[in-house]
Chains A and B, each alone.
Chain A
Amino acid sequence: MDTLQLEIVTPDRLLLRESVEEVQVPAKGGYLGVLPGHAPLITELQIGEISYRQGKATRFLAATGGYCEVLPDRVIILAEKAEKAEEIDTTRAQSSKDRAEKRLGELQNPDIDFSRAAVSLQRAIVRIQVSGKRGS
């Protein structure tokens, strides 16, 4: 079985470097699945979940924006922020979701930056989703 070398780097650290069989990334234009031997590709990422498969096990990560470079034998993800499913603090994600929802609810308040609140809501939702998939 062919494998891909998956590397996920954030500004803080090299998060992951592993041999995997399949990767899914949240590209700007929708989710993108990558198998070994994929044509070289560069794309921007949006907020979403990254998943990769090793044998039968599939693992998930929450990622916020960044870039993805695909080569036939390698996938390099430059994420602004990325967390493994088991690292996510679910209560914090839940509270930031609640906060963002509350902000979006106050339509008449001019002090609130709606696009920012919407982004943080989206991020929180993804993190909650991903944290529910740990170890599956």
Chain B
Amino acid sequence: MPNILDIRRRIRSVKNTQQITKAMKMVSAAKLRRAQERVMSARPYAQKILAVLNSLVTRSEGQTHPLLEDRGNERIQLVVITADKGLCGAFNSNIVKAALNFVGENRNRQLTLNCVGRKGRDLFRRGPLPIAHEAVNIFARLDYSHARQIAGTLMEEFANREMDAVYLVYNEFKSVIQQRIVVEQLLPIQKLAKSEEGSLIDYIYEQSPGEIFGSLIPKHVEVQVYRALLESAAAEHGARMTAMDAATNNAIELIDSLTLTMNRARQAGITKEIIEIVSGAAALE
């Protein structure tokens, strides 16, 4: 028979855990809202940059840039964006799985990793693939300078022909309960679309279009990285919120079933005592 005291202790401990998961859920909810706002407010900048780039492409036909150069996919750097912390359900493991899938598909190519986020870094450090760069503990105070730094190294190495392509793997924020894993090519920049409407405007250029083009392209890459980081941060908070909500519900269930067992044990104890007394009295007669 289970000991009542043990069960009580167990209930108390589950209750404590439940309080923690509940608190984490609230914190994540608040952070999620902020992260979502940041994703939204980063959008106009990205769109405007792309719009200007597209209109430049239309005009400056045959413009080349080191970051546009397609050299095939022989040497690839994979940027894996995970979270810095765990306790967010399958968030990190999904990303790692997607990254390993990618690695499997490109087995015969030369791969290096660039780990953003502690969880992915810790895991891949034990694996056979070389980690070229890592950025950990950036999500607590994420801002544009992180994106600039990460994108800067990537662009420099790409321009120096240290690798031929750069891919990003990250979680895109779809909704609070849903993340979508995205694998996308960052470098060389995919063909920019020529906009139909932009081609009608005949701009005056203070600098030559080539010059503006050359300095806008790196901005575009930075923005892409920044967006991926923000999406991942928002997705992480969403995932953590759902995970913690589930954990809280599980704790409630567990407490219920433990309480039931405890009451049964208590009842059984009382019954046993009564039987003992009754049979004791019967023996005296």
- Contact between chains at A44 and B45 (CB < 8 Å): no
- Contact between chains at B144 and A11 (CB < 8 Å): yes
**Is the CB of A27 closer than 8 A to any CB of chain B?**
yes
- Contact between chains at B206 and A42 (CB < 8 Å): yes
**Is the CB of B201 closer than 8 A to any CB of chain A?**
yes
- Contact between chains at A40 and B202 (CB < 8 Å): yes
- Stretch in contact with the other chain, from B36-44, B69-77, B100-108: B36-44
- Contact between chains at A78 and B204 (CB < 8 Å): no
- Collect the chain A residues with CB atoms within 8 Å of residue B203's CB: 40-42, 69
- Collect the chain B residues with CB atoms within 8 Å of residue A76's CB: 48
Interface residues of B in 25-84 (CB under 8 A from A): 38, 41-42, 44-45, 48-49, 52, 56
- Contact between chains at A42 and B144 (CB < 8 Å): no
**Is the CB of B87 closer than 8 A to any CB of chain A?**
no
Contact digits for B130-171, partner A, Cβ 8 Å, 1 yes 0 no: 000000000000011001000000000000000000000000
Min CB distance B150 to A, Å, is 14
> Given A11-B226, A78-B48, are A71 and B201 neighbors across the interface (CB < 8 Å)?
yes
- Contact between chains at B205 and A41 (CB < 8 Å): yes
> Given A27-B206, A28-B206, A67-B52, are A40 and B45 neighbors across the interface (CB < 8 Å)?
no
Question: How many interface residues does A have (CB within 8 Å)?
Answer: 23
- Collect the chain A residues with CB atoms within 8 Å of residue B143's CB: 12
- Collect the chain A residues with CB atoms within 8 Å of residue B206's CB: 27-29, 32, 41-44
> Which residue of A is nearest B200, CB measured?
A40
> Given A9-B48, A14-B44, are A44 and B212 neighbors across the interface (CB < 8 Å)?
yes
**Is the CB of A13 closer than 8 A to any CB of chain B?**
yes
Contact digits for A67-97, partner B, Cβ 8 Å, 1 yes 0 no: 1010100001010100000000000000000
Contact digits for B207-220, partner A, Cβ 8 Å, 1 yes 0 no: 10001100110000
Q: Is the interface of B mostly helix, strand, loop or mixed?
A: helix
- Collect the chain B residues with CB atoms within 8 Å of residue A12's CB: 38, 41-42, 143-144
**Alpha-carbon distance between A13 and B39 when the two chains are bound, in angstroms:** 9
> Which residue of B is nearest A39, CB measured?
B204
Min CB distance A7 to B, Å, is 8
- Contact between chains at B201 and A9 (CB < 8 Å): no
Contact digits for A1-25, partner B, Cβ 8 Å, 1 yes 0 no: 0000001011111100000000000
**Is the CB of B223 closer than 8 A to any CB of chain A?**
yes
- Collect the chain B residues with CB atoms within 8 Å of residue A28's CB: 206-207
Interface residues of A in 40-61 (CB under 8 A from B): 40-44
Min CB distance B222 to A, Å, is 8
Min CB distance A50 to B, Å, is 16
**Alpha-carbon distance between A71 and B197 when the two chains are bound, in angstroms:** 14
- Contact between chains at A41 and B204 (CB < 8 Å): yes
Please pick, from B42, B52, B205, B211, the residue contacting A78 in the complex, using a CB distance under 8 A: B52
> Given A11-B144, A28-B206, A67-B212, are A42 and B45 neighbors across the interface (CB < 8 Å)?
no
Which 6 pairs of residues, A with B, have the shortest CB-CB distance? A43-B206, A13-B41, A41-B204, A11-B144, A40-B203, A9-B45
Known: A9-B45, A40-B202, A78-B45. 13 other contacts (CB 8 A): A11-B45, A11-B147, A11-B223, A13-B42, A28-B206, A40-B201, A40-B203, A42-B204, A42-B206, A44-B207, A69-B203, A76-B48, A78-B49
Which of B's residues lie within 8 Å of A, judged by CB? 38, 41-42, 44-45, 48-49, 52, 56, 143-144, 147, 201-207, 211-212, 215-216, 222-223, 226
Which of A's residues lie within 8 Å of B, judged by CB? 7, 9-14, 27-29, 32, 39-44, 67, 69, 71, 76, 78, 80
Some 13 contacts from A to B, beta carbons below 8 A apart, are A7-B44, A9-B44, A12-B41, A28-B207, A29-B206, A40-B203, A40-B204, A42-B204, A43-B206, A44-B207, A67-B216, A69-B52, A76-B48
